[in-house]
Structure 1
Amino acid sequence: MTSSPTRRTVMTSLLGVLGLGATACTASGHGAQASGEDGGSDEGFPLTLTDCDAEVVLPAAPERVVLLDSAPVTTLAGLGVLDRVVARAGSFPEGYYDDDLTGRLAGIPVLSEDIDTTGHLQISQEVVIAQRPDLVLGLPDGVTREGLRAAGAEVLIPRSYCGGLEERARFEMLFEEISTYGAVFDRAAEAVALVGALQERIETAAALPLGVSTAAVLYASAGGGPLYAYGAPSMATAQLDALGIENVFAGTAQRVFESGTEPLLAADPDLLIVLHEGTVPEEELLTELLGSSRLDSLRAVQDSAVLPLLFNFTEPASPLIVDGLERIGDWLSEQEQAG
C-alpha cells in the first residue's frame, strides 16, 4: 500500500503554485494568451482547449452557461462570472454555500432535480439545448458533446471525471482547473487571486492537531446499493495527504471503484468519510450504511469516527474541496481536543 506523503512534503509541493495558476491550463489562444486584467478583453480568443479526449474551441468568452454539475459553482463565483449561468440542473444542496451564494443560485432557473440512486443527473439533451447555451458545464448520461456542438454549445467537464487518471491526486490539479476557467472566461487575474487565497487556507488546515493516521473515503448508494471507495487519483487522497492521513485505498490506481466490505474490513481505518449527495438526511444515510452488522467491527465505527460529507466537498477539483478539507480538519481537531 502506498504511504501518504507527510504534511511538509505536501505543503512544499504547493510552493510556486501562484506562478502556475496563470499558465497551467491546457489551453491556447491562437497566437495570444488569454487576459482577464479588466474582465473584458478578447485577446486570448479563439481559445482551444483539450477537455478529456476532446478538442474544444471557444470563439469568445461564454455568455450563456448551463450548469449540469454543482461543482463549478464556487469557481464561477470566485471568478465573478456566475451571472452568466442561465439555467442549472442537478443537486445543489444549500450546505455547500453561504447565504449570499445560496440566494444567487435560487435565482437561476432549474431544469431538473432528478438524481438517480448512484447520484447521476437525469435530463434530456433537448431541455438543455432549449436554453441556447454557448457553454455547458457537465455531461450527464443522455447528453453528448456532438449533440450540443451541433446546437452551438461546447462542453467542459472536470478533469477528475475524464477517466484514465492514474497519478496520485494533488491540490495543483485544483489550481490548474481554476486556471483553465480563468482562461475560458477571460478572468486570468481573478484566477490567480483565487488560487492564492485557497493556498493560504490549505496551509492553515494542514497545521491543525489531529488524532488519526488512516482513513477510507466511501460513497454509499441510496437504497442499500453498492459501496464505493476512492483511490489514489481522487481528490480525497489530496485532502488526506494534506492532513497527514493515509488513505487506505491510495494503493489503488482507480479514482473510484466498487469496494464491497471485505477490503474495508481488512484495512480497518481509524476514520470513515462517507460522501453523499444531500438527497437523504445524514442520520438516515449513516443508519442505512452502518445499521447492519457488516461494518460493526470496524474501529472507526466503534469509535464513532464516521464523518458524513457532501460529495462536492471532496470531488471533483473545485474550491469546495478546500471547504471540505477544512471541515475534515476541524472535525478531527474537535474530536482530538474532546478526547
Structure 2
Amino acid sequence: MVATACGSADSGADSGDAPAGAGGFPLTVRNCGAEVRFDAPPERVALLESAPVTILDGLGVLDRAVLRAGAFPEEYYDEPTNRAIAGIESLGENVDTSGHLQLSQESIIAQQPELVLGLPDGITRESLSGNGINTLVQPVYCPDDVDATTFDDVYEQIETYGTVFDRAERATTMIAGLRERVTEVERSVEGRPQRTAAVLYPTVGGGSGYAYGNRSMAHPQLAAAGFTNVFGDVDERVFEVTTEQLIAADPEVLVLLHTDGDPREVRGAVESLPGAQSLRAVRDGQILVQLFNFTEPPTPLSMDGLERIADHFGASR
C-alpha cells in the first residue's frame, strides 16, 4: 500500500490522535493496483478477515469495526480484544476447508460500511466501490506484482492504516515496538546451529497440502528465528507440495499452519503421509502447529508467531 495525500497535511493537530476531518484528507491509497480515496478517516469498518484486528487495536480504532465475518480465534488476542470482537455484529463464520470465507456480497452492501478490510472469494472491489464502499486488501494477497515479503511489509501496513485512520503517531510507536521484538528474537538465536525448516498448510483428510516459498511471511520469519527455509528457492508465496518434494527436502523442523479445528489432526495429517516417518522433523518430534495468522499475512501477529517458533524449537534443543 502507498498512501498519497491529496490535500494539505498541515492541520496543526496531533497526527497520532487527530479527529476525523483533520489535515491530510482527502487522501488516496494505492492498493493492489487500485486507487482508494478517503475524504475522512472511516468510521464504519467491516472486518472480513481476522488479520487486521491487531493493527486496528494498536491504533485505538477497533471500535470503528461495526461488522465482521469469518473466524476470529480467541488465541490470537488478549481478553479485552476478544470482548471487543464479541461485541461486533457477525455475518457468520462460514469458512471452507481451505480457510476461505463463504459470504454473499449483498449481505455486506446491505450494512453500508465505509471500509471493508479483506476481499473473500466472490466479492469484488468494483461492486463494493459502486455502492460507495472502499476496500483494502492485504498486499501479500494482491494477484500481481507481489515482491518477496519481509518484516517491512508489516511496518508499511501499519503506516498505511495509521494514515487512513489518522493515527500516524500511534503507528510509529507500534512499529518501534515490533522492530525491537524482532531484534530480541534475532539476538536470542545467535550462536544456535542453523537448522532447516518448512512451513506447511496441511490438508486434513488427504493430500500433502501446501508449502510456503520466499514470497511468504514464513520465509523472513524462519530466517529471524534462525532457520533456513528448505523451500526458500521457490519464488512463490504458497504452492502445492507433493509428499515426494517434502521427503526430498527433509526439513529438521516443521511449522504447520491451520485456520481452525484440532491441532492434533493437523499434525496427524502430516505424520500419516506415506513415507513421512523418514522425515527428520517427524522422527524427532520437531513440529509446531499454530494458527495461520501467526505467520500469514504480515501483521503484528507475525511477530507473535516468530516468538512462538523461536521459543518452541529453542527449548526443544
Give your verdict on TM over 0.5: yes
**Could you tell which deviates more after superposition, 123-132 or 25-34?**
25-34
Corresponding residue for 2:262? 281
Corresponding residue for 2:301? 320
Q: One-letter code of the match for 1:284?
A: E
Q: 1:74 aligns with which of 54, 58, 66?
A: 54
SS at match of 1:60: coil
Q: 2:144 aligns with which of 164, 167, 177?
A: 164
Give matches, 1:180-219, under 5 Å: 180-209=160-189, 210=192, 213-219=195-201
Return the alpha-carbon distance in structure 1 between the equivalents of residues 257 and 197 of structure 2. Answer: 13
Corresponding residue for 2:220? 238
* Cα deviation 1:56-97 (Å, max 9, x = unaligned): 111111000000010000000000000000010111111111
Corresponding residue for 2:126? 146
Q: One-letter code of the match for 2:5?
A: G
SS at match of 1:293: coil
Return the alpha-carbon distance in structure 1 between the equivalents of residues 145 and 186 of structure 2. Answer: 25
* Cα deviation 1:78-136 (Å, max 9, x = unaligned): 00000000010111111111111111111111102011111100000011112110000
Q: 2:278 aligns with which of 297, 301, 304?
A: 297
Return the alpha-carbon distance in structure 2 between the equivalents of residues 32 and 297 of structure 1. Answer: 62
Which blocks of at least 5 consecutive residues in structure 1 are unaligned?
1-24
Corresponding residue for 1:258? 240
Corresponding residue for 2:16? 37
Q: One-letter code of the match for 2:300?
A: P
- The 8 Å contact of residues 217 and 229 in structure 1, kept in 2 or not, is answered as yes
**Could you tell which deviates more after superposition, 208-217 or 192-201?**
208-217
Q: 1:136 aligns with which of 112, 116, 124?
A: 116
Question: Alignment identity in percent?
Answer: 49
- The 8 Å contact of residues 165 and 255 in structure 1, kept in 2 or not, is answered as no
Q: One-letter code of the match for 1:128?
A: I
- The 8 Å contact of residues 167 and 233 in structure 1, kept in 2 or not, is answered as yes
- The 8 Å contact of residues 224 and 289 in structure 1, kept in 2 or not, is answered as no
- The 8 Å contact of residues 160 and 316 in structure 1, kept in 2 or not, is answered as yes
Q: One-letter code of the match for 2:211?
A: A
Task: Tell me how large the CA RMSD over aligned residues is.
Answer: 1.6
**In the TM superposition, what is the alpha-carbon distance from 1:32 to its structure 2 partner?**
3.2
1:120 and 2:96 are equivalent in the alignment = no
Which blocks of at least 5 consecutive residues in structure 2 are unaligned?
none
Return the alpha-carbon distance in structure 2 between the equivalents of residues 75 and 118 of structure 1. Answer: 24
TM-score of the two chains, using structure 2 as the length reference: 0.94
**Could you tell which deviates more after superposition, 47-56 or 204-213?**
204-213
TM-score of the two chains, using structure 1 as the length reference: 0.88
Q: One-letter code of the match for 1:38?
A: D
